[in-house]
Structure 1
Amino acid sequence: MFSGDRVPIFLLLSVHQGALPPRPPRPGRAGPKNKKAGFDRALLLLVLLPSLVHLFLYIGNSAVSNFLTPCGLSRGLAQISLYFFVNNIAVIVARLTVGRLIVYLSKKTCILLGVLLSAGGTALIAVARNMPLMLLSAVLMGLGLTAAAQLLQAQVMLTTPSEHRGVASTVFTFMGDIGTGAGAALWGALSAGAGYTVTYLLAGASTLAGGVFHGAYWKRNRG
């Protein structure tokens, strides 16, 4: 039993506690996690889209690096090795001048021109039956592929935070390696069955397909 002087206090405490509504549970802190997830997705796209352009560039280039010599010999071009000499000169010129070119043209335009030159140089081999056309292809390929790949890698590094640049560089380079290997298998089988003309036309088209991812990248990142 309760003594008389304690009953009112007990009743007051009971009424007071009963009148208070239950405290709602604290909401979880999902904001930072959602922001981080959104940032990770954005970062993935900023790295993946240029890497896909790189992939298709090297799928097309694989037809040149692996099958140009037998293609040239089958067309009676005994000096086909000159292609690689001229191509290397064009590569050196591109590396020395592409940094100055972006002073006058945007990176977006320079990369697109590089993709177009590389695709055109690859497709030109399909119809090249003499050395002048082959050497023109060598110049187009050397300038276009080098400029596009160099600027794509620079753009990936510029848009990636410093703590993620190692992974970004690995992904970018890895996609080029995949393109080289996959292209060798694809164009080897195709050239054996359909011939070199069809092979190099499709190799040029596959290089041009990289422009789709190039456009998607710059649509997301207008920097």
Structure 2
Amino acid sequence: MNQTKLWTKDYLCVLFTTFFAAVTHNIFISIFPLYVVEIGGNNALAGAMITGLVVASTITRLICGSLLDRYGRRKMLMIGGFLFALNTIAYNFVSNIPGLFMLRILNGISQGIYFGAASTMVADIVPEERLVDGIGYFGIAGSLAAAFAPMIGLEIFQNLGASNLFLFVSFFATVGALFTLWIKSDFIAAPVVKGEENHGFKIPKLSMLIEFSVLVPAIISFFITFGNSSVANFLAACGIERGITSISLFFMVNSISMIIIRLFTGRLTNRYGLSRLIFTGAVLVGIGFVTIAFAYDTFMIIGAGILCGIGMGITTPLLNTMIFKIASPQRKGVANSTFALFGDIGNGIGATVWGALSQYSGYTITYLVSAICIVIAVIIHLFTLIPKIKLNPQYDR
């Protein structure tokens, strides 16, 4: 593997497989509550289904983290990619609430394998001195999908129906899975220490599933993701209720803002450090949520999209970069699964909380409470993460 070159074939293949999977994922996020309502459900039920997906994904990530370190990323990426594609195709044949609930759980399992392996593989492929850029561009692959996927998904769903939408996402998921076949490089696992051989089934120790050294950035990520899940899962429904017909513009400007800021994140990090940028990004996200709480026109929605896009475009990749700097090379898979675990929990709890809160208290209260989550993340950052960085300055570069 070339240790100085960023744009290798394997890195590009990871970006492409992530992009096509992210198209599918973002379309489902934006239209899923609407589809559940169409077939007889409501926001609270949609939130519960999303929680089921996240719980399944969380359990899968916990199991797969140590497997990625022990057996490598490539096989797990291919397995996850093709399971994700098959799972997406199955939506073409299910149109009832119980069946949909089961598919969302299976979706969580396939996503847990697929996305966990892809993000960990990036940390292996990218040279150390380009890690911020490599993870940033990896995030751009998802942001590009998020820029147009919700808008296209909503257009297809509203004008051509759910059946045509599911055919569309099935195509994208399949193409994404095919890109995993062209990846050649893989992580070489450390040899098993004598006495630690696996003789039959054993309940894994907690330290095999959780990387405790990255808990602080993971907890910060939890509160940010928890708050942001209100936007990801229920903003489309909020826009429809408030009569904002151009609500899809939020997702577009949000993703464009993410893409633009990530192009400069590497240089900004070299100048200001990870911790200052994470703080700044979180504050912008909180202001964006407050803006959404009182948004009743397109102008305010666009402004909120820009604020949230810049904020999330800074905080997510930099927190992700920090956990790879903190963890040892042999623990990157577990560290990444720990980080993703807290994000998944945030999404899962958030989907249920915001679904119920929006159902019974309205969207203004929902997004104000989301902003409070960001305040908590900022407090943890100031009083826990920054002291940790002062003791280990290399984490901030």
- Shared topology, TM-score over 0.5? yes
State yes or no: 1:218 paired with 2:375. no
- Given that 2:225 and 2:346 are in contact with CA atoms closer than 8 Å, whether structure 1 keeps it comes out as yes
Q: Secondary structure at the match of 2:306?
A: helix
State yes or no: 1:160 paired with 2:327. yes
TM-score, normalising length: structure 1: 0.78
Tell me how far apart the structure 1 counterparts of residues 313 and 340 of structure 2 sit (CA, whole Å): 14
Tell me how far apart the structure 2 counterparts of residues 176 and 130 of structure 1 sit (CA, whole Å): 30
What residue is the counterpart of 1:36 in the other structure?
none
TM-superposed CA distance for 1:57, in Å, is 0.8
What residue is the counterpart of 1:85 in the other structure?
252
Tell me how far apart the structure 1 counterparts of residues 278 and 212 of structure 2 sit (CA, whole Å): 18
Q: Which amino acid aligns with 1:165?
A: K
Q: Which amino acid aligns with 2:277?
A: C
State yes or no: 1:107 paired with 2:274. yes
TM-superposed CA distance for 1:85, in Å, is 1.0
Q: Map 1:194-209 onto structure 2 (within 5 A).
A: 194-209=361-376
Q: How many residues align?
A: 182
What residue is the counterpart of 1:117 in the other structure?
284
Aligned residues with identical type, % of pairs:
35
State yes or no: 1:185 paired with 2:352. yes
Unaligned runs of 5+ in 2: 1-206
Deviations 1:53-76 (A, max 9, x none): 111111111000111111112111
TM-superposed CA distance for 1:108, in Å, is 1.0
What residue is the counterpart of 1:95 in the other structure?
262
TM-superposed CA distance for 1:96, in Å, is 1.2
Tell me how far apart the structure 1 counterparts of residues 291 and 240 of structure 2 sit (CA, whole Å): 16
TM-superposed CA distance for 1:212, in Å, is 2.3
Q: Which amino acid aligns with 1:116?
A: V
TM-superposed CA distance for 1:45, in Å, is 5.1
Tell me how far apart the structure 1 counterparts of residues 211 and 379 of structure 2 sit (CA, whole Å): 17
TM-superposed CA distance for 1:140, in Å, is 0.8
- Given that 1:50 and 1:213 are in contact with CA atoms closer than 8 Å, whether structure 2 keeps it comes out as no
Tell me how far apart the structure 1 counterparts of residues 374 and 212 of structure 2 sit (CA, whole Å): 20
Deviations 1:140-160 (A, max 9, x none): 111101210111111111121
Q: Map 1:22-33 onto structure 2 (within 5 A).
A: none
Q: Secondary structure at the match of 2:243?
A: coil
TM-superposed CA distance for 1:214, in Å, is 1.5
Tell me how far apart the structure 1 counterparts of residues 218 and 318 of structure 2 sit (CA, whole Å): 12
Deviations 1:180-220 (A, max 9, x none): 11101001111111111000000011122111222202212
Tell me how far apart the structure 1 counterparts of residues 388 and 256 of structure 2 sit (CA, whole Å): 35
TM-superposed CA distance for 1:118, in Å, is 0.9
Q: Which amino acid aligns with 2:228?
A: N
TM-score, normalising length: structure 2: 0.44
Q: Which amino acid aligns with 1:110?
A: L
Moved over 6 A (4+): none
What residue is the counterpart of 2:223 in the other structure?
56
Deviations 1:71-114 (A, max 9, x none): 11211111111111111111111221111111221211100001
TM-superposed CA distance for 1:126, in Å, is 0.5
- Given that 2:323 and 2:335 are in contact with CA atoms closer than 8 Å, whether structure 1 keeps it comes out as yes
What residue is the counterpart of 1:3 in the other structure?
none
RMSD: 1.5
Unaligned runs of 5+ in 1: 1-39
Tell me how far apart the structure 2 counterparts of residues 85 and 44 of structure 1 sit (CA, whole Å): 35
Deviations 1:106-140 (A, max 9, x none): 21110000111111111210011111111011011
Deviations 1:163-188 (A, max 9, x none): 22211111001111111111010011
Equivalent position to 2:242, from 54, 57, 75: 75
Tell me how far apart the structure 1 counterparts of residues 365 and 301 of structure 2 sit (CA, whole Å): 16
